[in-house]
Amino acid sequence: MRLTNLAWDIAADELGIDSVRLLNDFEASAHALAKLGRAGLATLQPGEVQEGAPRLLIGAGTGLGVAFILGRGRGLRVVSGEGGHAAFAPADALQDALLAHLRASLGRVELEHVVSGAGLERIYAFLRDTGRHAENRAVREAMTAGDAAAAITRAALESGDALALAALDLFIACFGAAAGDFALATLARGGVYVAGGIAPRILPRLRAGGFAAAFNSKARFSEAARACPVHVVTNERLGLLGAIAAAPR
C-alpha cells in the first residue's frame, strides 16, 4: 500500500502479524461513528434525520478525507475514496480569484489544495499577496517557527488578526461548500460528520455560521442540504475507535 500524502510503502505481509487488514484512515474512522455518543459530537445543523439514509464523513487535515457509510449494524458498509482530489469549484467572485491564483502554480486545483492545512496556508498567502489584507510580522514569525496552519488559526481565534481571520473564514466557506456538495451526492440524511485535525480546533468559528451557510447554498437544492444533519466530531481517537470496530467484521 502506498500512502497518498506520505512517502511510505506498507506491505501487510511484512508486518509480522498472522492476520492483518490495512484500512484507509477515513474508512477506519467511518466505522467509529456507530460507537460515538453525543458527547463526542458538536452539532452545527440539526437537520431532519432519516433512518437508514447514507451518512457522510469528511475531514480536513494533511489532506481532505471523504467516506460514505451505508446501512447500519450487520449491514453496515463503508465506501472510502479520494474525494479530496476532486476539482475545487469556486462559489463566488473571491473564490474565483483564489482558483485563478492557485492555478498559476498548481495547474489543476484539487479540493484538498484548498481544504486542508496546506490549503489554509495557500488561502492566507493569496489574501496577502493580492493586497487584500496586510500581514502582521508576529504572525509571519509564528508561521515560520512552527505549524503554519496552526499559527494562522491561533492568530484568527485568539488575536483577531484581520488577515488570519479572513483566511480562516474563506477556508471555512470552501470547506462547507465541499461538504454540502458531497452530502447532495448521496443525500446524506443520515448525517454529515466533520472530522479531521482542523475542525475541532476551529469549532467556535464553525459555529459562527459560515460553514452551514456555504453547506446549504445549493440553489434549487438548498432545502435538501438543510435537511442533512451536520456534526463536528470532537473525539480525537476516532481512527482508533474505528479500527477496533472494524476488526471483528
Instruction: Give 166-175 pLDDT, tens digit per residue.
Output: 999 999 999 9
SS3 content of the chain, % helix, strand, coil (to 5): 50, 15, 35
From CA 127, how far away is CA 142, in angstroms rounded? Answer: 18
User: For 150-161, what is each residue's pLDDT tens digit?
Assistant: 999 999 999 999
C-alpha 209: how far from chain center: 16
25-84+175-246: in CATH 3.40.367.20:
yes
Tens of pLDDT along 72-105? Answer: 877 888 888 899 999 999 999 999 999 999 999 9
At 64, list the grid cell: 481532505
Q: Are strands 191-195 and 230-233 parallel, antiparallel or unpaired?
A: parallel
CA atoms within a 13 Å half-sphere pointing along the CA-CB vector of 22: 11
Domain range summary for the chain, segments of one domain joined by +: 25-84+175-246, 93-171
Residues 6 or more apart in contact with residue 100 via CB below 8 angstroms? none
Rounded Cα distance between 249 and 241, Å, is 14
Centroid of chain to Cα 93: 22
- The reported pTM is 0.90
